[in-house]
Amino acid sequence: MTERLSVLLREEAGSLDIPPAATGAILARGRGLRRRQRWTRAVAVTAAAAVIVVGSATGAHRFRADDSIDPTRAAEAFASQGAFAVGHELYLGDQRIHWDDAIKALYYTSAGVVVRSGSSEDTNDGISTYTLVSPTGEKSLVHADSSNRIPGFEPDGTNFAYSDQSDGQLVVVVHDVVTDRELARVTVLDHPVETGWDAPPVSIDGDIVWVRTDPGWTQVNWRTGEIRQVPDTADTFELQNGRYAVQRGHVWEIRAMADEATVGEVRMLKGWYAFFSPDGRFMRSFPNGVRDAPQMPSAYVHDVEAGTTFEHAGAGYELGWTPDGHLLVLDGETVRACEPMSDACSVRAFDGSGSVKLGGAPYES
Amino acid sequence: MAAPTDAEFAELVEASWPGLYRTAYLLLGDHQLAEDLVQTSLAKTYAAWAKVREPAAAAGYARVVLANTAASWFRRRSWRNELPSEELPERATAHAEPSDRPAVMTALATLAPRQRAVVVLRYFDDLSVRDVADALGISEGTVKSQTSAALVNLRRELGDAVVPQETGARHD
């Protein structure tokens, strides 16, 4: 008895002007979603592999928990050794600090490391609390929105950015971790963007924030409010410190966001994927869905500007960075901080159990 | 199933785009949102290609993803405020001419999002109660009760000529 209703609905639908299909944009979004799924699986696998059971490390430097701290030495140690966490223990430069909450991720700033923590070690799970820890171990809370999102930090600044679309608009927020003050809130779009997170990922470099939108990356000058679409970035997913990667098969062009000028080129093995270092000077590549990849494959570090590559044999998947560009490698009950383009490493042992989180590594999925 | 080549997927997009767009527009009543919904659904289909059993099933899978994605949009607390229906006239004429197509869209706009989805999927896409329930992630009983409530509202807007009095939730 609803035939007339069906007819009217079909007449209405039949009268529509159908816009052309944006096939390229759909493919790009599809690849992005697929990449996110792969990333999720990879993180799950490596997280499982990185759970450490209690044990005692020998033959390597142990951390002091409560020695008197020289600020200059602490800053040098932080820059060269970075930060990592094992369970509820945070290792920061030469120090070891107990953490009550589960640690989700570690982000570098020029004022220290920002610890993202909560009731679960999963960044997707529950509320996140952000805490700045200075190189001397002083803690201060950062009061910023804390749901499932990917914030942008830079190792040479004290500001970080995140996006928010809880009110149906895409907004970019910039926050100073030292003063704990919101510096800017810029409306980018009058509608939300579908990305799989509560809000799209962002990246920051000084006065500029980039936020992922449907056509690619949108550039926002948070001081002036000026907004522009960066052309030809629909297929770009890796972006750090003002540099982005354009994937051309196994050769990735690295460009500057400011003017889209080519900065360098990274050549990778077929089927491998790469992440930037926090300062954008290096990338490190790993097998991503490669059949028969070894359990602990080598990690390749690529100097973006020089175009050179160094193999860190058997370094595996559990890798991070120090603020000054050393590669962090989890190796049993030690973390090695290695020169990016040589095999010179310093070794740091840890005690404790739980999930390992390395500074400068992505844990959002 | 192995991931499609770009050419294969482009072929699917071209073939399924008009039908999906029509469904999306009837669901949302807004061209830009409809376009975004179809793009999102096809992108999700691409990303979940392993779940597509055979190429011939891909368009149907995309339609389910579309309904499912729309349902997730409807669940957003802010959705009602985003809908263009908030700006539409308060009510269509009590008994619009059956041939008056804008009256149909206006009448659809008076429905709650889930009621509207049920009507579109059942009476435009001809999905069964079970398929609508699966696509929207709700029970078959909810589909029937939502259909019944929607038809009462549509009858008030469009009149008995379009939605006869005896029409209820029995349509399968």
> Is residue A176 situated within a structural domain?
yes
> Is residue B8 situated within a structural domain?
yes
- Contact list in A for residue B21 (CB cut-off 8 A) is 16, 18-19
Burial A3-41 (b: 16+ CB within 10 A, else e): ebbeebbeebbeeeebeebbbebbbbbbbbbbbbeebee
> Of B31, B62, B87, which closes a domain?
B87
Query: Mind telling me how many Å the CA of A4 is from chain B's nearest CA?
Result: 5
Under an 8 A CB cutoff, do A21 and B14 touch? yes
Q: What's the DSSP call for residue A188?
A: E
> Is residue B167 situated within a structural domain?
no
The band of B91, judged by pLDDT with boundaries at 50, 70 and 90, is very low
> Is residue B148 situated within a structural domain?
yes
Helix (H) or strand (E) holding B50: none
Split into its structural domains, chain A has a count of 1
Q: Residue B15: which CATH number?
A: 1.10.1740
> Of B71, B87, B103, which closes a domain?
B87
> Is residue B71 situated within a structural domain?
yes
The answer to whether residues B109 and B67 belong to one domain is no
Phi and psi dihedrals of A2, rounded to 5?
Answer: -110, 20
Structure-token match 């100073």, residue found: A176
Q: Which residues of chain A have pLDDT under 70?
A: 1, 32-67, 146-148, 195-197, 289, 365
B63: helix, strand or coil:
helix
Range of the domain at A193: 25-358
Under an 8 A CB cutoff, do B36 and A167 touch? no
Q: Over pLDDT 90: what percentage of chain B? A: 22
Query: Mind telling me how many Å the CA of A34 is from chain B's nearest CA?
Result: 5
Task: Say what the pLDDT of residue B92 is.
Answer: 37
Q: Residue A350: which CATH number?
A: 2.130.10
CB A229 within 8 A of CB A219: yes
Task: Say what the pLDDT of residue B43 is.
Answer: 87
Separation CA B37–CA B28 (nearest Å): 9
Task: Say what the pLDDT of residue B117 is.
Answer: 92
Task: Say what the pLDDT of residue A36 is.
Answer: 53
Q: What's the DSSP call for residue A313?
A: T
Q: What is the pTM of this model?
A: 0.60
Under an 8 A CB cutoff, do A33 and B14 touch? no
Q: Indicate the Cα dihedral angle A143, A147, A152, A155, nearest 10°.
A: 50
Under an 8 A CB cutoff, do B124 and A19 touch? no
The answer to whether residues B81 and B101 belong to one domain is no
Query: Mind telling me how many Å the CA of B54 is from chain A's nearest CA?
Result: 18
The mean-pLDDT minimum among A124-128, A276-280, B127-131, B144-148 falls in: A124-128
- Tell me the mean pLDDT in the region B2-22: 87
Separation CA B14–CA B16 (nearest Å): 6
Task: Say what the pLDDT of residue A288 is.
Answer: 76
> Of B41, B69, B87, which closes a domain?
B87
CB A289 within 8 A of CB A305: no
Burial B82-99 (b: 16+ CB within 10 A, else e): bbebeebeeebeeebebe
Q: Is the torsion defined by CA of A36, A194, A204, A161 positive or negative?
A: negative
What residues pair up with A356 in beta bridges, in sequence order? Answer: A86
Q: Is A251 exposed, middle or buried (0-12, 13-18, 19+ CB in 10 A)?
A: exposed
> Is residue B124 situated within a structural domain?
yes
CB A329 within 8 A of CB A291: no
Model confidence at B87: pLDDT above 70: no
3-state helix, strand, coil in chain B (%, to 5): 70, 0, 30
> Is residue A15 situated within a structural domain?
no
Q: Residue B126: which CATH number?
A: 1.10.10.10
- The ipTM is 0.82
Q: What's the DSSP call for residue A324?
A: T
**pLDDT per residue as tens digits for the range B26-53:** 999 988 889 988 988 898 888 877 777 6
- Contact list in B for residue A5 (CB cut-off 8 A) is 119, 123, 154, 158, 162-163
The answer to whether residues B79 and B104 belong to one domain is no
Task: Say what the pLDDT of residue A199 is.
Answer: 84
The answer to whether residues B104 and B127 belong to one domain is yes
Model confidence at B13: pLDDT above 90: yes
The answer to whether residues B94 and B76 belong to one domain is no
Separation CA A34–CA A273 (nearest Å): 13
The answer to whether residues B77 and B98 belong to one domain is no
Task: Say what the pLDDT of residue A41 is.
Answer: 47
The answer to whether residues B64 and B97 belong to one domain is no
Name the residue among B139, B163, B166 with its Cα closest to residue B151.
Answer: B163
Task: Say what the pLDDT of residue A32 is.
Answer: 66
Range of the domain at B141: 90-162
